[in-house]
Amino acid sequence: MSWWGKVVGGAFGFMVGGPLGALLGAALGHNLDKGLKGLDREEELDPGDRERVQTAFFTATFSVMGHVAKVDGQVSADEIALAQSVMDEMALAPNLRQTAMRLFTEGKSPNFPLDDVLDQFKRECHRRNTLLQMFVEIQIQAAYADGQIDSIEEELLLHICDRLGISKFIYHRLEQMIAAQRGFNGGGRRQRGAPPTQPQGLSLKDAYAILNIPPDANDGDVKKAYRRLLSQHHPDKLVAKGLPEEMMKMATRKTHDIRKAYEKVKESRKL
């Protein structure tokens, strides 16, 4: 049974407690909330349980996304559309989509316990850097929903990274990669409120940014970067580590962009 099937079925044995459990309980209703509050850390299953990590990832993703959307003062139509587009890409069933939107709303609350949520999420992921970076990539995409990342949004994203143990250097590499992917897929930088741009084709500059390498990298480093990124974003590997199955399509799109970027660089270098 999937992680969501167990949540709906009331299989509390594998569930997370703490702030993530409270958020999910609030999103799903009072009865589940009562069940979650009754869990002690000692009663939970082994920390490596995949379904538990998937539950934590889903809960943290949409609640923190709501917090990121709200940090600049108000949640724009673009930011709501971004959350909905993530749900569309995940092909969420109606009840799961409703839960995701409720979590997004919970994240907008002025009392949202961001640091507690991030600390628990990091523990639940057991410091699996590929999962943590995938989470940060989604939050950067959320900040880009209205066309740009404001200084207050960047400050929040850097705080999220610091709390998760991700360096400022890695954050900037991820931000550059996502900005390049947005340009390639028709969501490039634009003025706030302006309509999304059309896909413009992959430039060589963006291809290097997606691969996270400088244009003067040698051929060997290009190949290493490509293989490393492909391995990090491989959908099956991410799901095995705790990425919810519903997010496989997002990971698949990222691997598609990585392959396209590598092809572009290979073509320019005649490899």
- List per-block mean pLDDT (blocks of 10 residues) for the chain, which spans 271 residues: 60 67 80 47 50 89 92 78 80 85 92 96 87 92 83 95 95 90 59 45 86 91 92 84 81 88 91 80
Q: Alpha-carbon distance 234 to 226, whole Å? A: 12
Residue 8 confidence (pLDDT):
58
Question: From CA 250, how far away is CA 248, in angstroms rounded?
Answer: 5
CB 55 within 8 A of CB 24: yes
Q: How far is CA 210 from CA 61, 75, 265, in A?
A: 22, 28, 11
Q: Identify the CA nearest to 181 among candidates 154, 151, 158, 202.
A: 202
> pTM score, two decimals?
0.79
Nearest CA among 101, 102, 95 for reference residue 25: 102
Domain coverage including residue 249: 3-269
Look-up: residue for tokens 């099937």? 5
Q: Pinpoint the alpha helices (H) of 112-247.
A: 114-124, 129-143, 151-164, 168-185, 204-211, 219-232, 235-241
Distance, in Å, from the CA atom of 27 to the CA atom of 30, rounded to the nearest integer, reads: 9
* Number of domains the chain is built from: 1
